[in-house]
Structure 1
Amino acid sequence: MTATPLATRLRAFSGPTIFTEMTLLAQRTGAANLGQGFPDGDGPPAMLAAARAAIDGGMNQYPPANGLAVLRAAIAERRRADHGVAYDPEREVVVTAGATEAIAAALIGLCDPGDEVIVFDPLYDSYAACLAMAGATAVPVPLEFDGTRFTFDPDRLRAAVGPRTRLVLLNSPHNPTGTVFDRAELAHVAGVCRDHDLVAVTDEVYEYLTYDGVTHVPLAGLPGMRERTLTISSAGKTFSATGWKVGWACGPAPLVEAVRTVKQFLTFGTGTPLQAGVAHALTHCADWVGELRDSLQRRRDLLVKGLTAAGARTYPAQGTYFVQLDSRSFGFADGVEFCRALPHDAGVVAIPSVALYADKEAGRHLVRFAFCKSEELLTTAVDRLGRYAATRRTAG
């Protein structure tokens, strides 16, 4: 046997992810973990009760391959009510094992080996691995800070299209930059898709977690885009239940069928009673989600205020769980070096954003902090970072 039996196309992804590495480091050091994006608290009590009732009611066997009918109906109704985009729950909605499976199944199901996929850099780490599984190649378009927020150059987006381009993979609200693409930016994406007959796959898992009055606009709602867009979301972020792994994809029947074809040979189905709980939450827990959004905005502000007081440069976060920081504020040109020193020296864990960049130099100095934690933990973290910054200034 060769030194590693892992397929060549996946060798770049072997070993633990940076999220696993930093979480283990937090556990070993007792540091305040602002690294991996999972909340400290549970989701809405009514959702948890509905899942328990489903377990007690005998909903413990395989669900239908495309998901419980009640959940598909709830998903379709939320898309119609919240975004004005209607889907047939029988043919145009499929439930998946989280958004991650939906993205993987979409890329595997829609791309042939050698196809190219336009992505926005930085990109969530699973995208590159899923593209490798599909045998497709990522063509990155950089998101760059324009003095106000991270955005892209429309000319660079158009220039990224080539003869093998199959689709555009878009994440908004965007992890890790916190950008929520506005209607003008989405119009550029839509124009490229229409002009070149491309499919769009959109990762919208933070769709309800936007701040300061910023509104999430689904790409599928723009003219000519419903028929070529596969919209992906999940319950994990919306209802603070990341461990449930209940996601979904909505779109025209041929695109949804491509996802269903792949996912039936991956997981087939996921968490029947959890699907029932999510269906209840989508139907009855909108107020809870609004309170979560308001709470997250307060916690974002607490973190940013503390980081700024420590002398750090931060970047605006219009949505998601995350604030980015410039590690050079603490005297580190390299964010990885900073993040590996921080647990030992300051008692705080963060994620080096470079792990999510194709262009490593562009992300070298950026660090991502999660604010989906308790105010107590955030206060502890900013106090520690303030003392750490003061110590470094004194030492310098």
Structure 2
Amino acid sequence: MPQLSKRTETFTDSVIRRMTRVSMKYNAVNLSQGFPDFDPPKEILARLAQVSNEDFHQYSITWGAQNFREALAVKQSRLMGRNIDPNGEIVVTCGSTEAMMVAMMTVANPGDKVIVFSPFYENYGADTILCGAEPIYVPLYPPEFNFNPDELEAAFKQKPKALILCNPSNPCGKVFTYNELKIIADFAEKYDAFVITDEVYEHIIYEPFKHVYFASLPRMWERTISCSSLSKTYSITGWRLGYIIAPPEIIDVAKKVHDFLTVGAAAPLQEAAVTGLKFGDEYYEKLRGVYTAKKNLFMKGLDDLGIIHTNPQGAYYVLLDISEFGFESDLEFCEVLAEKVGIGAVPGSSFFRENVNHLVRLHFAKKEDTLNEALNRLADFRKKIAPKKQLLKL
């Protein structure tokens, strides 16, 4: 038999999605894969019920239904501070996962280099490799997960085609400040690179932090490919509705790539989701309040249990320090955690280019009852997980 493609040899399947399967196996509270266990807004669900009896069962326009793009353009124009053309500056995709892949294939040629901050959402490395490009990893330093401008410029000096920017960041919850974004922008302009943004958590930000759209920075619209989705904002991760916003000359190429990858996003779901895109600012203010309450509940619970953890500025993920258990493999720890304690987590090593094995990621996009149950299970987890080696006492 002939050999299979070698491009997949350097990465595994998604560790995040694998840990959902592990959670199901042990009936664990799944705090690994980041999806909520509560319903989307009732207005969207009501419209979905109507759509099932209407004529939206065939292909929509390949790059997105007209009314969906128009509603999205109105919403994002208000937020991004410019008039976005629904016909020339938007492509609707099958989730932000496809949006990121389309963006990568639109700008990167085999042999190109792409800058990726570490820690990073696991898809970015795989996307880069599948495009035949080479990732250049630049570390973010805890506890604030800031970058070193000198290290970033050293990466730009390697003449990358693009930089991938997840803001707010998964898994560390960092929200990049305006000054940090300006440093990135200056380097992108100086070294003539694109910036591909993943902004799916744009509406999940905690005070006093503010989200700044990279494309809104001076002279950055022309070189920014903004990717996002409706998944997190409206709690519809299974609907797979994402999008790209960019200048027309970029969108023209992105349309071609998208057309041959997936043809188009689901027509009836686009129709139902238009309702959410027309929500007023009060919806997003309420959403921030809801997630702030969930964060406060979960962070206090972890503090009460004496568990060392990060403090996210945005998104809904927290990294726990498991050093006290002495596991050499954080993947093994997560499997034990699911089996013995009943909590699903993601090993931190799947997010870091550096040799990091002492962190695991949990998320708190769950009902309060679910979060309280998770904290109850964690209450005696030190009794249920035996340390792998004797810890040195200082």
* TM-score normalized with structure 1 length: 0.93
Counterpart in the other structure of 2:377:
384
| CA shift digits 1:335-377 (9 cap, x unpaired) | 3232121112211111112112222x1x321111010011111
CA distance in 2, matches of 1:392, 1:28: 18
1:52 aligns with 2:45: no
CA distance in 2, matches of 1:112, 1:24: 35
Contact 1:310–1:389 (8 Å) recurs in 2: no
| CA shift digits 1:219-273 (9 cap, x unpaired) | 1111110111111111001100000000011010111122111010011111111
1:239–1:332 distance in 2 versus 1, CA, 3 Å: same
Counterpart in the other structure of 2:10:
12
| CA shift digits 1:61-85 (9 cap, x unpaired) | 1010110111111111112212313
CA distance in 1, matches of 2:21, 2:387: 30
SS at 2:77 equivalent: helix
CA distance in 2, matches of 1:390, 1:211: 34
* Runs of 4+ with deviation above 6 angstroms: 392-396
| CA shift digits 1:28-87 (9 cap, x unpaired) | 111111111010012111112223323322111101011011111111111221231321
1:39 aligns with 2:36: yes
CA distance in 1, matches of 2:306, 2:241: 40
CA distance in 1, matches of 2:234, 2:166: 19
1:242 aligns with 2:237: yes
CA distance in 2, matches of 1:374, 1:106: 34
Specify which structure has the higher proportion of helix: 1
CA distance in 2, matches of 1:37, 1:187: 30
The residue correspondences of 1:32-181 to structure 2 (distance < 5 A) are: 32-145=29-142, 147=143, 149-181=144-176
CA distance in 1, matches of 2:353, 2:82: 33
Structure 2 counterpart of 1:258, from 253, 257, 264: 253
Contact 1:172–1:181 (8 Å) recurs in 2: yes
SS at 2:297 equivalent: helix
CA distance in 2, matches of 1:6, 1:126: 21
Contact 1:67–1:94 (8 Å) recurs in 2: yes
Counterpart in the other structure of 2:279:
284
Contact 2:340–2:385 (8 Å) recurs in 1: no
Structure 1 counterpart of 2:333, from 338, 345, 358: 338
1:240–1:140 distance in 2 versus 1, CA, 3 Å: same
Counterpart in the other structure of 2:311:
316
* TM-score normalized with structure 2 length: 0.94
Following superposition, the deviation at residue 158 of structure 1 comes to 0.6
CA distance in 2, matches of 1:366, 1:394: 15
User: What is the letter of the counterpart of residue 53 of structure 1?
Assistant: Q
Following superposition, the deviation at residue 291 of structure 1 comes to 2.3
The size of the alignment, in residue pairs, is 389
Q: Which runs of 5 or more residues in structure 2 are unaligned?
A: none
CA distance in 1, matches of 2:219, 2:318: 34
CA distance in 2, matches of 1:369, 1:71: 33
Cα RMSD, aligned residues only: 1.9
User: What is the letter of the counterpart of residue 74 of structure 2?
Assistant: E
Following superposition, the deviation at residue 320 of structure 1 comes to 0.8
CA distance in 1, matches of 2:308, 2:245: 38
SS at 2:302 equivalent: helix
1:269 aligns with 2:267: no
Following superposition, the deviation at residue 216 of structure 1 comes to 0.6
